[in-house]
């Protein structure tokens, strides 16, 4: 293949040209979060679940998390209307922060934006978050705007697939891929192990990527997904009294382990690659047990997991936005031309998603 043909092929490939994240200004360490939980809900817990709560909050995998409130006590009496109002305010604000920063890092302005894709699973707005961003950021009233729901923690990768598909033929425009989760907008507490674990690991945050065609950036090479609806009850939101309650089964690490090999080996083999060819792994930092399960199944060195574990320690699990925080950490640590990346995220359904990327 000639050099000109290679250059033309690269110009037609969607690329991630910048990544930016945004976190709310308030944070609690795990000891502070545990004290809040015990102070307000300790009396409703069985002795066994109280013991589990103490153990989960003491786990060293998470150090602190950021939240969209200044004082956690406001959660105790916050009603459904207050939750969705807080979701709307912070989802729009954090998304705009991340998207504006990503555009600035890419050397682009709002007039360059042809499309925007926003995914979230922690709040429902109609019209969607994308329309609020059109107004807040001053995007074109003719921008192509899409809102994705229902993918849970894995939503960033289907979002990125759609963003790449929206790029027009001339390669001049850009598309914003935005993932935002206000996990505390779904806060619930009962004597339920699902909710105890959820309240120990989830935080709030947003991330955005600028996608366009060209030769500079992280080339979006290939992607894949795997769905296992027979495991739907293992990870999902359920409605109780009209409000979302998170469900995370204890068997989830095994479900992830059983699926990740099929997902990744299929993606790599059709691109004539092996696991050892991948320099960077951006995993959804869902929790140490799931990270360990992926590491064991794929045979990855601990060094490759440092960005994922660092993100988990500093931010907790921010649902779909998390994988972008990991990608940002990888980019901040330095990468080289030709490096291969794999981004992995797991979500409701059960669903698993992966994207093969390359620095060009």
Q: Residues of CATH 3.40.47.10 domain(s) within the chain? A: 14-213, 218-359
14-213 has CATH 3.40.50.2300 classification: no
Q: What is the pTM of this model?
A: 0.94
How far is C-alpha 9 from the geometric centre of its chain's CA atoms?
Answer: 29
pLDDT digits (tens, 9 = 90+) for 59-101: 999 999 999 999 999 999 999 999 999 999 999 999 999 999 9
d(CA 231, CA 249): 10
Residue 7, pLDDT above cutoff 50? no
Are 150 and 339 a contacting pair, CB within 8 Å? Answer: no
DSSP string, 22-43: E--SEEEEHHHHHHHHHHHHGG
Q: How confident is the model at residue 216 (pLDDT cuts 50, 70, 90)?
A: confident
- What are the helix (H) ranges across the chain? 3-11, 30-41, 47-57, 80-106, 129-137, 156-165, 193-201, 252-269, 288-298, 306-315, 322-332
Query: Mean pLDDT lowest for which of 67-81, 185-199, 246-260?
Result: 246-260
Residue 189, pLDDT above cutoff 90? yes
CATH architecture of 218-359: 3-Layer(aba) Sandwich (3.40)
- Which pLDDT score, from 0 to 100, does residue 186 have? 96
pLDDT digits (tens, 9 = 90+) for 93-106: 999 999 999 999 99
Q: Which of 74, 139, 65 minimizes the C-alpha distance to 100?
A: 139
Mean residue pLDDT across the chain: 93
Mean pLDDT of 139-159: 96
- Which pLDDT score, from 0 to 100, does residue 5 have? 40
């Amino acid at each position: 293949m000639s050099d000109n043909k290679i250059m033309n092929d690269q110009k037609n490939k969607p690329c991630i040209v910048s990544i930016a994240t945004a976190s709310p200004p308030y944070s609690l360490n795990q000891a502070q979060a545990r004290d809040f939980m015990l102070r307000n809900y300790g009396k409703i817990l069985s002795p066994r679940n109280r013991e589990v709560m103490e153990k989960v909050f003491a786990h060293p995998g998470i150090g602190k998390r950021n939240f969209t409130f200044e004082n956690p006590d406001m959660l105790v009496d916050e009603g459904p209307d207050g939750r969705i109002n807080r979701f709307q305010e912070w989802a729009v604000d954090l998304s705009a922060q991340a998207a504006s920063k990503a555009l600035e890092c890419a050397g682009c302005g709002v007039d360059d934006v042809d499309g925007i894709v926003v995914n979230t699973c922690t709040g429902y707005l109609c019209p969607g978050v994308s329309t609020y961003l059109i107004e807040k950021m001053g995007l074109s009233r003719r921008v192509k705007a899409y809102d994705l729901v229902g993918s849970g923690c894995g939503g960033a990768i289907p979002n990125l697939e759609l963003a790449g598909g929206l790029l027009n033929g001339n390669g001049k425009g850009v598309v914003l891929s935005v993932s935002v989760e206000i996990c505390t907008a779904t806060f619930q507490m009962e004597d339920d192990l699902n909710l105890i674990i959820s309240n120990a690991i989830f935080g709030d945050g947003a991330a955005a990527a600028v996608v366009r065609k060209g030769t500079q950036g992280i080339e979006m090479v290939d992607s894949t997904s795997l769905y296992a609806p027979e495991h739907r009850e293992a990870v999902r939101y359920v409605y109780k009294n009209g409000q979302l309650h998170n469900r995370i089964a204890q068997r989830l690490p095994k479900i992830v382990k059983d699926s990740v090999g099929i997902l990744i080996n299929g993606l790599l083999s059709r691109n004539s690659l092996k696991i050892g060819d991948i320099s960077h792994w951006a995993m959804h930092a869902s929790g140490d047990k799931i990270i360990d399960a992926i590491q064991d199944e794929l045979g990855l060195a601990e060094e490759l997991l440092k960005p994922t574990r660092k993100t988990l320690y500093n931010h907790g699990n921010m649902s779909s936005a998390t994988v972008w925080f990991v990608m940002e950490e990888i980019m901040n640590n330095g990468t080289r031309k030709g490096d291969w990346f794999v981004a992995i995220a797991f979500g409701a359904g059960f669903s698993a998603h992966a994207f093969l990327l390359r620095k060009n």
